[in-house]
Structure 1
Amino acid sequence: MVDHTGTGETGLSGRYAAALYALAFEQKILNDVVDQMAALGRLIQESADLRRLIETPLTDAAKAAPVLTQALAAQGFLPIIRNYVNVVIANRRLRDLPFLIAGFAAYVATKRGEIVADVTSAHALSDTQRHQLRARLTEAGYGNVHLREHTDPSLLGGLVLKIGAKLFDTSLKSRLNRLNYSLKGAA
């Protein structure tokens, strides 16, 4: 069963994350690998061409592996990251790469005693907003929180916060939808 949440320790992403974590720890380059996996995730988000290559089901693994390896080498990614991507490709999991990267981040956060909170807002959070959000989460009993930030202009305002299975939606879009449903019920 594929773990598309990217957070499971027993699913696909958990197995890949545990293997990469153990190898990076053994080679004493764990912090560099954590940073570069995050950079790889950002690279995928920012590059439409790379996303298209990853998401296309007809991508030929034999052709994709050398091209992707060369591109990652040109970007300065460590051999361990390039090898990881090659293993993902060889195992026919290229389409799962973004989930595997998220799973690795969640695995590292768990190992470090951090709680991962996905925050989606209409606009990028300012440093003040980030600080206030962390303070509120600490007050709510969530100690060491790692924020993974996403933007979605369709939210219009407010934010959506997901911590584990809990979802807190204070977006303007959600409020307008609730108001719309309540007005339809009153009519």
Structure 2
Amino acid sequence: MSTSAIAKRYARALVGIGAEQKMVEQFGEELARVREAFATEEFLRLILESPTFPLAKKSAILADLVDALKISDGMRAFLGLLLEKDRLRFLSQIDQTYRQLADDLAGVQRARVVSATELDDKQRQAIKAGLEKQTGKSIELTVEVDEELIGGIQVEIGGRLFDASLKTQLKRIEDTLKKG
């Protein structure tokens, strides 16, 4: 079974449980905290993913981790299942897929905007309103500044990139001139 199929299966199950218990948002936050702990503590992740380390010891370490992170019982059981089935190595993909499924359930779509300069609130609202009109969904914007764009913006939404930056337009002109 492919990595993405495994991640989808577990993420779909967790979203289903979260929806039943009205804890979709909380599960998402907890899953992100555990993923972050794995990302920052490489040794912890390696031990918990190791096929040679005894399961009982890994369970004790995971129990200490979820206690330290103040994880709910539902997420604790989910992480225990991942450990038991040797699926903790897919945690990052499960988190990413979970976030997408939870957003779909809530009717939210995330968009990443990269601008050459800082955007004011009026510009952010205009971009958000335009994207909401295009998608028919509520948009959650993440705005970043990249001065190398020279001017304009780039918008990434739903796996697509819309590039209206001056840097890209100048590159296209350069390519056209080189081709003759």
Question: Kindly tell me: are residues 39 and 151 of structure 1, through their superposed partners in 2, closer, same or farther at Cα, counting changes over 3 Å?
Answer: farther
Matches within 5 A, 1:121-132: 121=114, 128=121, 130-132=124-126
- C-alpha displacement of 1:184: 4.4
Q: Percent identity?
A: 23
- C-alpha displacement of 1:174: 4.8
Task: After superposition, give the CA deviation of every residue in 1:97-120 in whole Å (9 maximum; x if it has no partner).
Answer: 111011111111222233x33416
Question: Kindly tell me: are residues 53 and 39 of structure 1, through their superposed partners in 2, closer, same or farther at Cα, counting changes over 3 Å?
Answer: closer
Question: Kindly tell me: are residues 118 and 27 of structure 1, through their superposed partners in 2, closer, same or farther at Cα, counting changes over 3 Å?
Answer: same
Task: After superposition, give the CA deviation of every residue in 1:126-181 in whole Å (9 maximum; x if it has no partner).
Answer: 6725433311202324332244x48696x8343341315x3323456655654554
Q: Is the 8 A contact 1:156 1:172 kept in 2?
A: no
The answer to whether 1:69 aligns with 2:63 is yes
Q: Is the 8 A contact 2:107 2:137 kept in 1?
A: no
What secondary structure does 2:98 align onto?
A: helix
The answer to whether 1:100 aligns with 2:90 is no
The answer to whether 1:49 aligns with 2:41 is yes
Question: Kindly tell me: are residues 141 and 96 of structure 1, through their superposed partners in 2, closer, same or farther at Cα, counting changes over 3 Å?
Answer: same
What secondary structure does 1:161 align onto?
A: strand
Residue 24 of structure 1, aligned match among 18, 21, 26: 18
Amino acid at match of 1:117: R
The answer to whether 1:14 aligns with 2:13 is no
The answer to whether 1:117 aligns with 2:110 is yes
Partner of 2:2: 2
Q: Is the 8 A contact 1:120 1:160 kept in 2?
A: yes
CA distance in 2, matches of 1:174, 1:64: 49
- C-alpha displacement of 1:95: 2.6
Q: Is the 8 A contact 1:121 1:160 kept in 2?
A: yes
CA distance in 1, matches of 2:105, 2:26: 16
TM-score with structure 1 setting the length: 0.65
Residue 162 of structure 1, aligned match among 157, 166, 171: 157
Task: After superposition, give the CA deviation of every residue in 1:53-94 in whole Å (9 maximum; x if it has no partner).
Answer: 54x599415355532432232021212223222322333332
Question: Kindly tell me: are residues 152 and 14 of structure 1, through their superposed partners in 2, closer, same or farther at Cα, counting changes over 3 Å?
Answer: farther
- Judge which range, 136-145 or 94-103, deviates more: 136-145
User: Unaligned 5+ residue runs, structure 2?
Assistant: none
The answer to whether 1:60 aligns with 2:47 is no
Q: Is the 8 A contact 2:49 2:86 kept in 1?
A: no
Matches within 5 A, 1:82-101: 82-101=76-95
Amino acid at match of 2:2: V
Residue 34 of structure 1, aligned match among 28, 35, 39: 28
Which structure would you say has the larger Rg? Answer: 2
Q: How many residue pairs were aligned?
A: 171
RMSD: 3.8
